[in-house]
Chain A
């Protein structure tokens, strides 16, 4: 757990970047700092590993005041990823990843083995290991940055807009990769972004900052979307909060009918029991489009999307292998949506 206790940062020129911040960052979860440019996210993050020292207040890392720890020692125990990757251009990728293990005095072989293991973990081709940073794309460099931060297996990871310099497709895959890694590793992660969608996607907890380093709201994404604390947060969250919130409601509660028919339509299946389309009753018109939802892992948003894709208006439920599991009627969908809006659910 990382605890901010009345933390204020005043820069030399008088700018108050962070003003009396009180916040707890829970262990083993992703906490996102989000807010408009200049609101003090980076400053708050960098006070944790003492790249910046607070003017007032304390930051506790598992009950220990970070000010009592020598900065290099503190930093070797905290992974740090920045936007521009900051890889050492003169070192090969494998040695870049092994930076902290080398500093900690691991023997060379062990450090390199560990580096190779991490390169694999973050989804990089191992033939990249002997390249230099300039020979990698921006997205690949960011993966290396993540691997480097994880090399000495620190319990805490600080990430400052790590994915904002790459294109949207790469960004999405890096985000997915981080979530997958986090499911395995359960690090305490503080993630800074100015992108609310990224915050909502990645955060177990989202801390919304407003300019001047004040906290506007701290909540899980679903609560944030459903109950923004004020106009500022609401404005910052943007449009379609209702729909976006459905991403956090499981589709698991939907009532499913096992018959492959609804009034006017029936589901056409192949020999493997996978849906092919909706067949209208009566004349021999062709198959119509459909949408599926996997109740075990999809959200209510996916169910609604599946409903909107089909002229029958009903999502087709499938199992993990994509085989027909039943049909969700409009009534069932309606009930689930009503339940979902009755209060934030953590799905």
Chain B
């Protein structure tokens, strides 16, 4: 506990370019950009293969194989390829990390929608795109959001690798702390990451409440 106080109680840690607010902001920036990039790639792809039911095996197998990639190795590889000085060495591995859960959950969510429901939507005269956007997506939304949440938490936890290649973020406290045996800094950094992950978790719970129809989450009250 003392260590925590040493870290968080130290006024110097709260200002400047290596202060907590700045590092937090950098960390959030990496995470948000990576997550958005992953969403732009994985959601449309997941919707498409879930709806068309084509190419699913290939895509899902590839996505799951990507999960096995060692993130740190990827970071180093990209540094070797593009050099330091850009954020790509962090972003690309984070995007690669975020894609599988989003893709697989979106795909499974859409594909798993009750066959009779799909059938009745077509039977009412909805067109393919309308069936997807007006029926399948709202019904699959809990699973899609779950995929996003898993991805977001992984990204937030993993964005610490930025520090290995000289970039900012909360990883700095952890890595630099380890290097200089400044354990309060290491632990403080880890706590910040954990808190951020918790906030993400909370944020997604709220999002779920706002976005998912009570008819799907079954929490509507009978009037």
- Show the binding face of A for B, using Cβ within 8 Å: 49, 51, 71-77, 80, 82-92, 99-100, 103, 127, 130-135, 148
Q: Is the CB of A82 within 8 A of B119?
A: yes
Q: Using Cβ atoms and an 8 Å threshold, which residues of chain A touch B117?
A: 86, 88-89
Q: Is B135 an interface residue (CB 8 A)?
A: yes
Q: Using Cβ atoms and an 8 Å threshold, which residues of chain A touch B222?
A: 131, 135
Q: Is B74 an interface residue (CB 8 A)?
A: no
Scan residues 175-223 of chain B and give those whose CB is less than 8 A from a CB of chain A: 213-216, 218, 220, 222-223
Q: Using Cβ atoms and an 8 Å threshold, which residues of chain A touch B82?
A: none
Contact with A along B115-143 (1 / 0, CB 8 A): 01101111111110010000100110000
Rounded to whole angstroms, the CA-CA distance of A72 and B131 in the bound complex is 11
The distance from the CB of A42 to the nearest CB of chain B, in whole angstroms, is 11
CB contact under 8 A between A72 and B215, given known A90-B138, A131-B223: no
CB contact under 8 A between A75 and B215, given known A84-B116, A88-B117, A88-B135: no
Q: Which of B122, B214, B216 contacts A51 (CB 8 A)?
A: B122
Q: Is the CB of A134 within 8 A of B213?
A: no
Rounded to whole angstroms, the CA-CA distance of A46 and B90 in the bound complex is 53
Rounded to whole angstroms, the CA-CA distance of A80 and B120 in the bound complex is 8
What 9 pairs between A and B have smallest CB-CB spacing? A86-B120, A132-B215, A76-B125, A90-B213, A75-B125, A80-B123, A90-B138, A84-B116, A72-B125
Q: Is the CB of A132 within 8 A of B214?
A: yes
Q: Can you list 16 A-B pairs, Cβ within 8 angstroms, ordered by A? A: A72-B126, A73-B125, A74-B125, A75-B122, A75-B125, A80-B123, A82-B119, A83-B116, A90-B139, A91-B213, A127-B223, A130-B223, A133-B215, A134-B215, A134-B220, A135-B222
Rounded to whole angstroms, the CA-CA distance of A82 and B223 in the bound complex is 27
The distance from the CB of A71 to the nearest CB of chain B, in whole angstroms, is 8
Q: Using Cβ atoms and an 8 Å threshold, which residues of chain A touch B120?
A: 80, 82, 85-87
Q: Please, how many residues of chain B have a CB less than 8 angstroms from a CB on the other chain?
A: 23
Residue of B nearest to A82 (CB): B120
Residue of A nearest to B113 (CB): A89
Q: Using Cβ atoms and an 8 Å threshold, which residues of chain A touch B214?
A: 132
Please name 11 further chain A to chain B contacts, defined as beta carbons within 8 Å, in addition to the given A75-B123, A90-B135, A134-B220, sorted by A numbering: A71-B122, A72-B126, A74-B125, A75-B124, A77-B125, A86-B121, A89-B215, A89-B216, A90-B213, A91-B215, A131-B222
Q: Is the CB of B124 within 8 A of A92?
A: no
Rounded to whole angstroms, the CA-CA distance of A83 and B119 in the bound complex is 11
Q: Using Cβ atoms and an 8 Å threshold, which residues of chain A touch B218?
A: 132, 134
Residue of B nearest to A99 (CB): B124
Q: Using Cβ atoms and an 8 Å threshold, which residues of chain B touch A85?
A: 120
Q: Is the CB of B123 within 8 A of A49?
A: yes
Residue of B nearest to A130 (CB): B223
Rounded to whole angstroms, the CA-CA distance of A85 and B123 in the bound complex is 12
Q: Using Cβ atoms and an 8 Å threshold, which residues of chain B touch A103?
A: 124-126, 130
Q: Is the CB of A131 within 8 A of B220?
A: yes
Rounded to whole angstroms, the CA-CA distance of A67 and B92 in the bound complex is 49
Rounded to whole angstroms, the CA-CA distance of A230 and B220 in the bound complex is 54
Q: Is the CB of A132 within 8 A of B123?
A: no
Q: Using Cβ atoms and an 8 Å threshold, which residues of chain B touch A91?
A: 213, 215
Q: Using Cβ atoms and an 8 Å threshold, which residues of chain A touch B223?
A: 127, 130-131
The distance from the CB of B222 to the nearest CB of chain A, in whole angstroms, is 6
Contact with A along B127-170 (1 / 0, CB 8 A): 10010000100110000000000000000000000000000000
Q: Using Cβ atoms and an 8 Å threshold, which residues of chain B touch A134?
A: 215, 218, 220
Q: Using Cβ atoms and an 8 Å threshold, which residues of chain A touch B122?
A: 51, 71, 75
Q: Using Cβ atoms and an 8 Å threshold, which residues of chain A touch B124?
A: 75-76, 80, 99-100, 103, 148
Q: Is the CB of B116 within 8 A of A135?
A: no
Rounded to whole angstroms, the CA-CA distance of A254 and B215 in the bound complex is 56
Residue of B nearest to A152 (CB): B125
The distance from the CB of A125 to the nearest CB of chain B, in whole angstroms, is 11
Rounded to whole angstroms, the CA-CA distance of A146 and B127 in the bound complex is 21
Rounded to whole angstroms, the CA-CA distance of A134 and B213 in the bound complex is 12
Rounded to whole angstroms, the CA-CA distance of A131 and B135 in the bound complex is 17
CB contact under 8 A between A88 and B123, given known A130-B223, A133-B215, A135-B220: no
Residue of B nearest to A80 (CB): B123
The distance from the CB of A48 to the nearest CB of chain B, in whole angstroms, is 11
The distance from the CB of A279 to the nearest CB of chain B, in whole angstroms, is 54
Q: Using Cβ atoms and an 8 Å threshold, which residues of chain B touch A92?
A: 215
Residue of B nearest to A160 (CB): B123
Residue of A nearest to B217 (CB): A90
CB contact under 8 A between A86 and B116, given known A75-B122, A80-B123, A100-B125: yes
